[in-house]
A and B are shown apart, each in its own frame.
Chain A
């Protein structure tokens, strides 16, 4: 027998309310690399795990939103720092998950980290770009500010890191909390990123990640009435149609890709914010 050191493997778990539980169902499923090699037994989240994740996200939302935008920016930037320090690990997982070579996966990780930095800088700009004062015809001070929709569900993004980062960061940076279903077949980069949030001062519950079967979990998330917004860019057109109809049950804001759209990031920033307009009298 070789005396090479036997590596210590990791169990890939869910991220709910700042903790890393296995699925309450006790189930797991086998995830392989793009080339078919065994990678891990990943926790197979259940309906109840989704429910718990939504509860955690709901509970955390007010705190996350009431933190200063500056503070949210700091927290998100810290995540970029964490990702940078573990970039090789991320790159390795992206390469395995997506079946690309290490050079390509390094590029993807770099782009993802840069994107996190980009969003970190957005937190305290959004209100100025999307909000403002309105010159009403009367003695009133009137201003509009973008406020978060609340809890946003993100469904199964296939681009295991870049797409995932895009989908979670836009809602997070404007003050939403997120329940993300990681890509069913390529979940490990998302799980790694989730682990980094613990070292980045993300309050518990702000980002929750559930791994498992998209077909089982996505309808639960889409139909959950306490979810305010839904990003369904990660699924096929037919699946997205089905989820969009489910989401309509509680008048969710639904974000879908559009044809011939090269950059959807600004649309994403607007997708899960609400314009709140305040009037106040002006008088002596």
Chain B
């Protein structure tokens, strides 16, 4: 090496300065009422609860707690809107309302992204690049269906169900609201939406958007509250349809409570997705795919690739690269544009993740945890990988719903399929291989509603999403998503 080159040989480093998005963009109000019949109003009990920022435990806003009386008022409003207005509104008109809503979401996307990140704890990069654009895309997609239902493959002139009660989870608050509302409205139903207790805010901003869109009063009603609010909605006799996204435990309860009624039901429940890695996988993209599969949204994803099934011959190499990559994940302030992994959504969820990971260790799995520094306040869990996991371990069977990956091995495609299917769930799986015929062979045998080959955690409004077995039934997205809201 010449002197000239030696002079240049000092090592460099690039530590990123904080690049936080401004919380003020959210323009949060100190309190929010229930959105019933087109306007915000107090709960009958005047009860409120605080919604907090899980990244620092500070209160963001006070939100109304709806009880059975409020839910009834919302259902009455939705029924009235259905009978008097929405069922008489042409498909073309409904279509244009939905297009309006889609545009308004785009216009207020930055605000919505910040609201989502504050309330949920997810990185702003994800709310900005995934949640909000996809929510708008869902409204755009279903807007186009509203006046084309005759061509949706369910026979001529398919009819809506009536009033839909929709209960959504905290992991993708606005996106789940869009997944529920857009197809329901396109099909001609009116809605009562119940956002998750810990993440009500983006739905309430959406309520403002519905006002700006001049959607007829009562077509969409939004009732905030805890589990009792959801139960009141499920049990309400004048609801024609329940759509629920959440845990299998609650889904089972809802199915039991509605089984003997006239209510239509679709359920999108838990999962324990297997991400299957063959020895010919495109290794660098596969590592990224594993990371996306389990650390996207802190692993708070029903379709997360939480079980990694690696072909034994490459297991050491994959694990080595994986733990190195895990260490690079930037964990911290969700509002920082460079954050990869944000805060755990709630204290309760953090507790569950801790409990299950403690089981992982006591059952003898080898634990690798990122050495990242975690903030003092808020709910945080460092990205974690468990190796040497057996199919019988709790961490290989139960949905952790956190940034925790369990790594198992297999030797043959048949064994991979058998292990992947050895679960009560059936939501999503991944396959990593450069060999097309084997990928399709495996895909054909996996019991999962969504299968990603050489990618993971991709979503699109045209692509049906939903599970098999105890991951629920019914599809959201695509032509198939209409079926959940039509009497066909």
How far apart are A257's CB and chain B's nearest CB, in angstroms? Answer: 12
B468: Cβ under 8 A from any A Cβ? yes
B-binding segment of A3-11, A176-184, A268-276? A268-276
B458's partner among A132, A140, A248, A266 (CB-CB below 8 A) is A140
Contact-residue bracket for chain B: 35 or more
**Does B267 have its Cβ within 8 Å of any Cβ on chain A?**
yes
Judge whether A149 is part of the interface by a CB distance below 8 angstroms.
yes
Q: Judge whether B482 is part of the interface by a CB distance below 8 angstroms.
A: no
Cβ–Cβ contact A280 & B439, under 8 A: yes
Q: Is B19 an interface residue (CB 8 A)?
A: no
Chain B residue with the shortest CB-CB distance to A142: B463
Q: Is the CB of A275 within 8 A of B463?
A: no
Stretch at the interface among A33-41, A197-205, A239-247: A239-247
Interchain CB contact under 8 A, A251 and B470:
yes
* One of A129, A135, A247, A280 near B153 (C-beta < 8 A): A129
Q: Is there contact, CB below 8 Å, between A277 and B449?
A: yes
Query: Does A284 sit within 8 A of B, measured CB to CB?
Result: no
- A119–B309 Cα distance when bound, in Å, is 39
Which of B21-29, B81-89, B250-258, B402-410 contacts the other chain? B250-258
> Cβ of A251 and Cβ of B137 under 8 Å apart?
no
Q: Is the CB of A138 within 8 A of B458?
A: yes
A132, B475: Cα distance in complex, Å: 14
In this complex, the member of B443, B448, B464, B466 whose beta carbon has the largest number of chain A beta carbons within 10 angstroms is B464
A242 contacts across to B, CB distance below 8 A: 260
| Chain A residues positioned under 8 Å from B470 (CB to CB) | 250-251
A134 beta carbon closer than 8 Å to chain B: yes
A1, CB-defined interface residue at 8 Å: no
Interface size on A, residues (CB 8 A): 40
SS of A interface (majority): mixed
Residue from A274, A278, A280 in contact with B468 in the complex, judged by beta carbons closer than 8 Å: A274
Q: Quote the shortest CB–CB distance from B367 to chain A (angstroms).
A: 31
Q: Tell me the A120-137 residues at the B interface (CB within 8 Å).
A: 129-130, 132, 134-137
Of chain B, the residue at the smallest CB distance from A136 is B460
Question: Are the C-beta atoms of B464 and A251 separated by less than 8 Å?
Answer: no
> Closest Cβ of chain A: how far from B161's Cβ, in Å?
11
Please tell me which one of the listed residues A144, A147, A149 contacts residue B480 in the complex, with CB atoms under 8 A apart. A144
Binary A-proximity of B140-162 (CB < 8 A = 1, otherwise 0): 00000000000001010000000
Known contacts A134-B464, A248-B255, A251-B267; is-contact A278 B480 (Cβ 8 Å): no
Contacts of B246 in A (CB 8 A): none
Residues 449-474 (chain B) with a chain A CB within 8 angstroms: 449-455, 458, 460, 462-466, 468-473
Out of A134, A249, A253, A258, name the residue touching B256 (CB < 8 Å): A249
Interface string of B423-467 (1 = CB under 8 A from A): 010100000000010010001111111111111001010111110
Is B186 in the interface zone, CB < 8 Å from A? no
Return A140 CB to nearest CB of chain B, in Å.
Answer: 7
Question: What A residues does B468 contact at CB under 8 A?
Answer: 147, 149-150, 228, 274, 276
Q: In the assembled complex, which residues on chain B have CB atoms less than 8 Å from the CB atom of A266?
A: 155
Known: A251-B267, A253-B473, A278-B443. A142 touches B460 (CB 8 A): yes
Across the interface, which residues of A come within 8 angstroms of B472, CB to CB?
A: 251
Contact of A276 among B153, B155, B267, B448 (CB under 8 A): B448
Residues of B within 8 A of A66 (CB): 444-445
Whether A277 contacts B451 by the Cβ 8 Å rule is yes
Complex partner residue of B469 from A228, A247, A254, CB under 8 angstroms: A228
Are B460 and A134 in contact, with the CB atoms below 8 A? yes
The answer, yes or no, to whether A267 is at the interface (CB within 8 Å) is yes
Kindly state whether residue B351 has any CB partner on chain A within 8 Å.
Answer: no
B478 CB within 8 Å of chain A: yes
Besides A274-B468, A276-B443, 8 more A-B contacts (Cβ < 8 Å) are: A136-B458, A251-B255, A251-B469, A253-B473, A267-B488, A275-B480, A276-B448, A279-B450
Ordered by A's residue number, 19 sampled pairs between the chains whose C-beta atoms are within 8 Å are A132-B479, A134-B463, A142-B462, A144-B464, A150-B447, A150-B469, A244-B259, A248-B252, A250-B470, A251-B248, A251-B267, A275-B464, A275-B466, A276-B451, A277-B478, A279-B450, A279-B452, A280-B436, A280-B453
Interface positions of B (Cβ within 8 A of A)? 137, 153, 155, 248, 251-252, 255-256, 259-260, 267, 269, 424, 426, 436, 439, 443-455, 458, 460, 462-466, 468-473, 475, 478-480, 483, 487-488
